Structure 1
């Protein structure tokens, strides 16, 4: 007999994965580019006929040598600003003016949502050092570094809706749904200790920290409200 329950469960998991993948593989609008494996800023600039200086300036990049897979970069002038390598046209009076670009849509997930993070209370998902914080653009969560095998715990009670490694860039990943609005994600684990459909309580051990699909041992932790990433630290106790 065709198992409709299993099918519906898989559809739910697929939808939640799509939500997370939106910040790493969804199409971006004209004038933007999503960083892929093997890309460098120099390569991206050449491909889009821009200078590295323009791309650094348009994206406020603190370090041109540090771009990440999945990061969205502006590769065309914002608004009516002209790039230093932009096309020029004569205005009929002997001088040349830059051709203003057309209005371009913002990339997906570029505007942080207005979310009542205070309406959910979390515990820290792991002990360790926070090495990267949420900024809403290049970082959709927080990264916590510690020793391999450090326990990862559920930040709040909920149901495990995904456990696997099918989403590129996240490694061994867990997604816990807490209610109709909130879910949390736990990436790069060495081992997953819970299964899909399992109910967990706040503080339950759910995984062991690792370095799957990343270059160092850490936990990448995300909080999502109605499908969009928000700053987890707003719902975490101060350290």
Structure 2
């Protein structure tokens, strides 16, 4: 009802479970899918992964659960945003528009804390797991990768990635680097392409997982 009331948004389908969500996304190819975390037959994390693999639709996770692991799993599965069900109407509509425009729905005060915590936990686990030592290939989901993966970026592209990880918009990055927004878009596109990343969310995850950004949110090495 909230979304249908907007003049620039059309709801093309509503479904009761994750299996139907994936099927509907393949059939209708919507710009945005609002996905619940807990659903029958297939949970929202797995459904999000399949939707992102099989379509160009962007996914916003909508749930009553605000535990960090749900948020992180959703982002790793390909989600472009994460909202709680008690979100205000205006914020819900804004989220759909932001994600539909190709931007990431990032709340730096929450997302950076989350990514920092989860990356630290994964790194601690990996330290005791020799079997993960050689995994250094590029991934499309922002997976844990060595710092040398960033060597493929130019100095300006690394600066752009760092500022993305600090939650800056294109306009803010342009002001910080004293370049045009068009040039920023080019740098962002190059970063995503070279690192095989789906979107800005995964660029932020990559910045933390490669060590470009250290544990304290907003601080760079």
What's the TM-score, normalizing by structure 2? 0.24
More helix as a share of residues: 2
- Structure 1 or 2, whichever has the larger Rg, is 1
More strand as a share of residues: 1
